[in-house]
Each structure stands twice: as C-alpha cells, then as structure tokens.
A and B are shown apart, each in its own frame.
Chain A
Amino acid sequence: QSVLTQPPSASGTPGQRVTISCSGSSSNIGSFTVNWYQQLPGTAPKLLIYSNNQRPSGVPDRFSGSKSGTSASLAISGLQSEDEADYYCAAWDDSLNGPVFGGGTKLTVL
C-alpha cells in the first residue's frame, strides 16, 4: 500500500484531456512539493513535472501539474498515443524522513 494514492488506471482518446490525481496527507503533499514521473514500457522513470507545476526542458507543454492542500494532479492535454505509460507522483514525507511515491497510474490511449 503506497503512502500516496493514485487511481490504478486512466484512459482517453487521442486529442482528449485527461487528469491523474495523487492524494496524500499533511506530512507529505501538504508540506512539500510534488514531482511527477513518466515511465514508458520497459524503461526507467523520467522526470515529467517538478515543484508541483514546473516542466523540465524538453517536456511538452501538453503536460501540466497542480497542487492544492494534500492533493496534486497531473493533466495531459491533446493526448497522443506515445503518452501511453505509467505515471507516478512523489513527495517528501516527514514521517518517513524520505521520499514516497504513489502506486502509479497506467494511462491507456484508446
């Protein structure tokens, strides 16, 4: 059972906008910034969003992040087939004194 809670799956059709939620508590998301990772099949995770809503160089602006209270969201607009991947949220946790991850959301592009 992961400290951060994500829906196990999400789906959308090409061109659609989808959102993936990440729910935590005051000891993690409520107190620290959230980062998002994209893991394409058979590859290592890649940083997608950092500090709640910042995109690393090279990440398309179709990807955006937000945070409110103890929850965060990742939004993908103009969905493309290459967006089919697993997405993980992460945040520091004061109770663990370390980073924690969500259980991951498998995004399917229909």
Chain B
Amino acid sequence: QVQLQESGPGLVKPSGTLSLTCAVSGGSISSSNWWSWVRQPPGKGLEWIGEIYHSGSTNYNPSLKSRVTISVDKSKNQFSLKLSSVTAADTAVYYCARAVTSSRFDPWGQGTLVTVSS
C-alpha cells in the first residue's frame, strides 16, 4: 500500500526557508490524487498548508500562500514544501498526506518536527 516519508532539516533559522520532501512509495504520485502538507504546532491542532497534483497544479491555504511553494518531482515520485521567512510560529510537526478526496487524507507520513530557532 502507499506509504509516505517526510525528510528535511529539523532546525531552521528565523527568516530562513523551511524545505521538506515527501517520498511516496508503494504507488505512483501520478495517480488521480492530490498530495498535501499539513502541520501541527506543539500541543495544538492541525492546519492544512497546501496541496499539489501531479500536473503541477497547486492550492494553498490563503493564510500561508505568500510564503509557500509546493512542487512535484515525478521522476523521483516525491513532492516538496518550501516555506519562506519562517518565524518561531512556524515551529511544528509537518506531515505529508495523500488527499483521497477534498478533506480525506489517507495515508499520512509519520511527520517531522521542524524547529525555528537561532
């Protein structure tokens, strides 16, 4: 079955750019699904960041849109997240997930904690 695995630096400096990659295994990223990023600040709830289709079409959360870029690499069966101008408020566990339908995410990656600190 499809599995997702996030990777990337666990520590990013304030004003820097957070970069994460989600590797998809057990299935093709070119299937008829959207691929999403969701984050969870420590002790808080879930926040959708954005999504991408294998064609390159994207949708972003309006609250983050000016700082977010999601891209796809079909040759590597993976997609990526870049979040610029980060602050401590961007400290969170970042999850990638397959969006089976609009708000139905399954499966999820295990998540990766990114801390914004100098």
Closest to B110 in A: A44
Kindly state the separation between the CA atoms of A32 and B102 in the bound complex, as whole angstroms.
Answer: 9
Interface SS, A side: strand
Query: Chain A contacts of B62 at CB under 8 A?
Result: 96-98
Task: Pick from B60, B95, B102: contact of A45, CB below 8 A.
Answer: B95
A99 near B103 (CB under 8 angstroms)?
Answer: yes
Binds B, one of A13-21, A61-69, A75-83, A101-109: A101-109
B48 touches A100 (CB 8 A): yes
Q: Tell whether B47 is near chain A: CB-to-CB under 8 Å.
A: yes
Is there contact, CB below 8 Å, between B59 and A2? Answer: no
Q: Collect the chain B residues with CB atoms within 8 Å of residue A92's CB.
A: 102-103
Residues of A within 8 A of B (CB): 2, 32-35, 37, 43-47, 50-51, 56, 88, 90-92, 96-104
Known: A90-B46, A98-B51. 17 other contacts (CB 8 A): A32-B103, A33-B103, A35-B105, A44-B95, A45-B46, A47-B104, A88-B45, A88-B46, A90-B103, A91-B103, A92-B102, A92-B103, A97-B59, A97-B62, A98-B50, A103-B45, A104-B46
